[in-house]
Amino acid sequence: MEYTVNKLAQLAGVSARTLRYYDEIGLLKPARINSSGYRIYGQQEVDLLQQILFYRELDVSLETILHIVNQPTFDQTEALKQHYIKLKQKRARLDKLMATVEKTIANKEGEIHMQDKDKFAGFKEKLIQENENKYGEEIREKYGDETVDASNAKLRGMSEEDFAAMSSLEKEVLSLLEQAYATGDPASPLAQEAAEKHKQWLMYSWPSYSKEAHAGLAEMYVADERFTSYYDRDVKGGTEFLRDAILIYLGKK
């Protein structure tokens, strides 16, 4: 079975523009171009598009997907198994959020008394699952399952006040990073304040803090494009700048 752009777009529930863009960036090339100049997609491309859409459903960036599917060792069957596991985790997270909403409604209507810590359980679980989906493999390889599990447990048990403070600190770091980057100096007071705030942010979820672990994480930010895309989202080049600021703050540069 072969499909034109429009027919494949209709089949997959995406726009023809999306398929053309995937072609432009080398993510999903057509099997051939026919004599009329139309892109023609075969079964192999249909299967690859399914994989791409699974990854997108799990919020994986296009750059990361391109890297994954172009690996010589890429195994579609194994990828599907991993998709299934991650989608089950996503469903569990959504179930947790729905349960939190239901309890909140019941609390508002006077049917139950909801403790403050329970009001944020779903959001904490969402954060944990997002981190696991995006960075879990690399973080667990670098720091070990025991450390990561302890960090997740600390986050789950965090009070409402601490959770709010941690979220606020994350925003402060990003705001300071943008201001500090404009100075061009990672040793500037603004940059060093961003590094200090970053340390404070980490300490809310890390079971224990060390300069070595902080420096290692900063280096990972630069080495892994998933971290880089987060800090470079608003400040192009901000990830390397933050890494340098942290290393200076830690006395390692």
The CATH number given to whatever domain includes residue 166 is 1.10.490.50
User: Containing domain of residue 172, as a range?
Assistant: 160-253
**Among residues 110, 140, 158, which one ends one of the domains?**
158
Q: What is the rounded distance in angstroms from the CA atom of residue 51 to the CA atom of residue 82?
A: 11
- Please give the Cα distance from 26 to 179 (Å, whole number): 36
Which stretch of DSSP H or E encloses residue 216? helix 211-223
pLDDT tens by residue, 156-168: 777 778 888 888 9
Do residue 60 and residue 124 come from a single domain? Answer: no
Domain boundary among 69, 86, 112: 69
Task: Say whether both 27 and 114 belong to one domain.
Answer: no
Q: Of 140, 158, 176, at which residue does a domain stop? A: 158
Measuring CA to CA, how many Å separate 229 from each of 49, 59, 157, 236? 23, 13, 29, 9
Over range 180-188, report the average pLDDT.
95
Q: What confidence score (pLDDT) does residue 24 get?
A: 95
Output the six-digit token pair for 26.
């080398």
* Tokens encoding 131: 């981190």
Residues 192 and 136 in one domain: no
Q: SS3 letters for 81-132?
A: HHHHHHHHHHHHHHHHHHHHHHHHHHHHCCCCCCCHHHHHHHHHHHHHHHHH
The pTM of the full predicted model, rounded to 2 decimals, is 0.49
The CA distance from 188 to 149, in Å, is 35
Count of domains observed in the chain: 3
> Pick the residue with more confidence: 209 or 110?
209
- Secondary structure element (H or E) that encloses residue 197, with its range: helix 189-205
Instruction: Note whether 135 and 145 are same-domain residues.
Output: yes
